[in-house]
Structure 1
Amino acid sequence: MSDQNFDVEQDVATFFTKTTVTRSACDLRATELVDGGLQLVPVQGACSYTVYAGPELGSVIQFRLKSLVLPLKTMELAHQIYGTLAPEVALEGQIGQDDDDGREALVVYVMSRMQGISRLDFILAYGFPEDTPKSCDARLTLIKDAATFFALSWKSPQIFEQAQLEKLQQEYERDLRSLLLALPPRFHDAIRRCLRALPSIMALPTVLAHKDFGDFNMLVDPDTCHLLGVIDWAEAKMEPFGLNLYAVENLMSKFHLRNGASRYPNYDTLYDTFWQTLKAEIGPDLDDAEIHTIRSAMLLGFLLDRGFTSRLANMCEPVPVSDNDRGGAYSMLVLDSYLSRAETRFPFLTDMH
């Protein structure tokens, strides 16, 4: 987690510069869809405007940019695989029109409100000091639940045609070789490990993976920090198991915009517990060789995410990051924290140094 400040009203104002629809028109549409109250969701996404609505504010109404519609089949599949940890979503049409200045119409969705508070809100309320028994127990609880969450996808493998797998492998190899050319030599060992492991990674189960498993999107119990739900499945995709596991590092470390990552006091316990729980949930057939491959997949996912500019559908084609701009410098700091700094790099990279 970074130490940035959040201004929800500024986020909302920025969002409405991207659309032809006004905030008041969205609020009116929300009250038409669900009778009752209306309240702004305290954390807003860059590509959507979201409110609670209805009696006891029991519904969520989300207005998304037309270029970033929610894939409803993916949402249905997520609910089948992850059960109550994924929301049920209904499409309620479109408001507004695209214009010649690049502003977009909005697509409207209604979903039931999931219980809990965001992990970010939990940390702000209860996460300090970081070494108290309550803070350590909360992190341990959540890391176990996160492992169980990821294991659900392993238990529900998806069918992918061989041609699709081969195309995906070619894309991964192309991107990794681009990183070899663009990133500094200190990252090359990690990139080469992924290249060597690609055939084994592609043999892992193909799963539906959540691609933004972060503090905003995890809903937890405000008393225990048990995981109650995961929201924002807009970028979910089919890929080999493990590519999104790097997100759990955020549950064991915090991130400072100037100094990079630092580990929580009970990091070693959290790390061991995650892998022990994942193995127990998947079952006894998961051997050490597969664990090694899953960790290579995790490394691949991290490099593809942090080594490139944004992969959002409405953004420019992603290119390797550099430290020539503010965003690139931040990405380099993330890469350094988890790939090259001895005190914070992924523990399974130790044998590479």
Structure 2
Amino acid sequence: MPFVVYNLENAIDTFFKEGGASSSRIQCDDFVYQRYGERNRPTDIQGSNSYTVITGPSDNRIIQFREQDALLDMRMLALAKAVHGEVVPGCSELGWVGDPNGSQLAASEMDRLPGENYILAHPLYSSRQSAKRQTSFFAQSWQFGTPTSSGLADMSAIITECYDRFNNLANTLPERFLTVVTEIQAALPALLDGCYPVVLTHSDLNEMNILVDTESGKITGIVDWPGATILPFGFALYALENALGSMTSNGWKWLDEAEELRDAFWRALRSQTGGLSESQERLVKLAGKAGILIRYGTANDSGFLGVIGARGPNMGEDFRYLDALLF
């Protein structure tokens, strides 16, 4: 599978040409200038459903323009802020840009968090630090617990979503993965019994959405929260596995110390969650497998909410991530 070199201008052009919005890049840039009296510059990494720029005194503001089918859920963002604190940006809505009779873009203002996108920064420091620093992020969700008071945790909808996802995977994945799918299907009643925590879950916890300090490896920001949902704890643990290795042109390559770092993560998680029982840890690890299956086994246009699938819609898509991370 050939690797595609990311090009910032191409990414921006693609968003405005293929997104179907009635507003242009010039209109968005003018919106920023009229509001702040400052020119802007695009962030180094752009999302597929948004146009994001930096502006303000000392470049301390992020202005993001999003398509209507990928809007920020301000209640979910407030929950993320309550769970994870300073690594989640504050955000306010600014209005709409574009033809009112067309598909406008929603504008929002966010704090610009310090740090660099992990995908750009990771060659500058040891991935050991990233794996270690993720523990606190995941532990915060466990410690916060099921956010029932937020009105965002509809258990009936969560249960239906999970069962539908794995029925879909059972019907669409190659046969070699069905044993793992069946294992997760058997675990769903325990993961969804109301005792195991269902928690705030970032839908796309990839290397572009994690900001880190390039000296220490400390996580300084988690961005791009549209699509965040409530799911069993552990469905986003694919982010840990991504920190312990990477896909190369010759296949998946684990760090030499991957097993040592994974063990350190689990020791720290046990400590920071107040001690996981043997049965709880087994369920967390099964939830981690579930997240990997969803992340790398679900087509990215499947229509499911929550964790975003990374596989293309083509049924012949390469399944190297599943082969590497599940077996």
Report the residue type matching 2:71 in the other structure: V
Whole-angstrom CA distance in 2 between matches of 1:78 and 1:191? 29
2:14 alignment partner in structure 1: 14
| Structure 1 residue 304 displacement after superposition | 2.2
CA contact (8 A) 2:292 2:325 kept: no
Alpha carbon RMSD of aligned pairs, Å?
2.6
1:115 alignment partner in structure 2: 114
Residue 219 of structure 2 is aligned to residue 219 of structure 1: no
Aligned to 2:148, what secondary structure does the other structure show? coil
1:129 alignment partner in structure 2: none
| Structure 1 residue 37 displacement after superposition | 3.9
1:145 alignment partner in structure 2: 133
Whole-angstrom CA distance in 2 between matches of 1:337 and 1:144? 21
CA contact (8 A) 1:201 1:293 kept: yes
Rate the CA distance shift 1:13–1:319 in 2: closer, same or farther, 3 A.
Answer: closer
Whole-angstrom CA distance in 2 between matches of 1:314 and 1:231? 21
| Structure 1 residue 65 displacement after superposition | 0.7
Whole-angstrom CA distance in 2 between matches of 1:22 and 1:308? 32
Whole-angstrom CA distance in 2 between matches of 1:16 and 1:59? 22
1:75 alignment partner in structure 2: 77
In structure 1, runs of 5+ residues without a counterpart are 127-134, 340-344, 346-353
2:260 alignment partner in structure 1: 269
| Structure 1 residue 191 displacement after superposition | 0.7
Whole-angstrom CA distance in 2 between matches of 1:76 and 1:166? 23
In structure 2, runs of 5+ residues without a counterpart are none
1:5 alignment partner in structure 2: 5
- How does 1:280-295 map onto structure 2 within 5 Å? 280-284=271-275, 286-295=276-285
Paired residue for 2:292, among 302, 313, 322?
Answer: 302
Count of matched residue pairs: 317
CA contact (8 A) 1:118 1:215 kept: yes
Whole-angstrom CA distance in 1 between matches of 2:130 and 2:273? 18
Whole-angstrom CA distance in 2 between matches of 1:239 and 1:47? 23
- How does 1:157-176 map onto structure 2 within 5 Å? 157=145, 158-159=147-148, 164-176=154-166
| Structure 1 residue 337 displacement after superposition | 2.0
Rate the CA distance shift 1:329–1:225 in 2: closer, same or farther, 3 A.
Answer: same
CA contact (8 A) 2:236 2:288 kept: yes
CA contact (8 A) 1:122 1:222 kept: yes
- How does 1:234-273 map onto structure 2 within 5 Å? 234-256=226-248, 258-273=249-264
Rate the CA distance shift 1:7–1:323 in 2: closer, same or farther, 3 A.
Answer: closer
CA contact (8 A) 1:176 1:191 kept: yes
Paired residue for 1:278, among 266, 269, 273?
Answer: 269
Rate the CA distance shift 1:3–1:119 in 2: closer, same or farther, 3 A.
Answer: farther
2:86 alignment partner in structure 1: 84
1:209 alignment partner in structure 2: 201
Rate the CA distance shift 1:59–1:262 in 2: closer, same or farther, 3 A.
Answer: same
Tell me the TM-score normalized by structure 2.
0.89
Aligned to 1:16, what secondary structure does the other structure show? helix
| Residues 143-172 of structure 1, C-alpha deviations (whole Å, 9 max, x = no match) | 1211110110111121189x9424432332
Paired residue for 1:329, among 310, 317, 322?
Answer: 317
Deviates more, 1:175-184 or 1:260-269: 175-184
| Structure 1 residue 312 displacement after superposition | 7.8
CA contact (8 A) 1:151 1:278 kept: yes
CA contact (8 A) 1:31 1:54 kept: no
CA contact (8 A) 2:32 2:38 kept: no
Aligned to 1:110, what secondary structure does the other structure show? strand
Whole-angstrom CA distance in 1 between matches of 2:165 and 2:228? 19
Rate the CA distance shift 1:264–1:110 in 2: closer, same or farther, 3 A.
Answer: same
| Structure 1 residue 320 displacement after superposition | 12
CA contact (8 A) 1:39 1:57 kept: no
Tell me the TM-score normalized by structure 1.
0.83
Whole-angstrom CA distance in 2 between matches of 1:305 and 1:319? 4
| Structure 1 residue 82 displacement after superposition | 0.4
Whole-angstrom CA distance in 1 between matches of 2:310 and 2:164? 12
